[in-house]
Amino acid sequence: MNGMNEAPQLPLDLSVARFALYYAPPSGSCWWNEGSRWLGRDAITGRSLNAPQVPGLSRPLPELTADPRRYGLHATLKAPMRLAPQARLGDLSGIAAAVAARHAPFDLAVHTDVVDTDNGKRPGFVALRPSVGAADAKAVDALAADCVQAFDALRASPTEAELAKRHAQPLSSRQRELLAQWGYPYVFDEFRFHVTLSDRVAVTDATAITDWWQPRVQALGPMRVDSLALFVQPSPGEPFLLHERFVFGEAA
């Protein structure tokens, strides 16, 4: 197994903890440091960071990044889930190691974009997305599909409250079908890789955020995708932390 623990390991109550498989930039990399500073929190240490000053925003940046700050810098591969009653943490780590071993590292060129997953019903949020024509966009789609399928046997069924929250969103018929089967509506053909940078924001704030990030994206270059990151939310409402990282086969 090639798991690497990067955060202090705390006792977990598996009846309430949620786990997610994310892409997270390599720890200590310029992407990780810049993105964590932007969100105001390092999801490895849990430490708060001073967010940058961004010209043109209607409010201070921390007021526009509350949701992504709670999840940590990431792109979702397998959405947060509670473990099924028979599942154990070792099962999760074992599957993560096996999935990681099946994939080779690659670089993913990205750009800033305003993402709308609500069919125009609400303002969008700013995120980093694969650049148009990015050579490895298919590789990240395949990685996400592998994660969705590989970990599903360990996923507890969503509660009625969780389903009601999802169904309250303006989902398409295809997204509702995926939600029923996989517990999350944005998988497979509905999956769109994105590293979230903001809450849903007004157009003027989205423009200011995009203007701040564009030169930095150019300077930072492609994102290195070389591992799976297992994140944990110890109990409802708590922020997510990076629990363990699993290096891809050719990088081990």
pLDDT for res 147 = 98
pLDDT for res 198 = 98
Distant-in-sequence, close-in-space partners of 11: CB < 8 Å, separation ≥ 6: none
pLDDT exceeds cutoff 90 at 116: no
**One-letter amino acid identity for 42?**
D
pLDDT exceeds cutoff 60 at 8: no
Which pairs count as long-range contacts for 34-42, CB under 8 Å and 24+ apart, including other chains? 34/216, 34/220, 35/73, 35/195, 35/197, 36/72, 36/73, 38/65, 38/73, 38/197, 39/65, 39/68, 39/69, 39/72, 39/73, 39/197, 40/65, 40/69, 41/69, 41/72, 41/239
pLDDT exceeds cutoff 60 at 195: yes
Angle at 177 between CA 173 and CA 179, to 5 degrees: 115
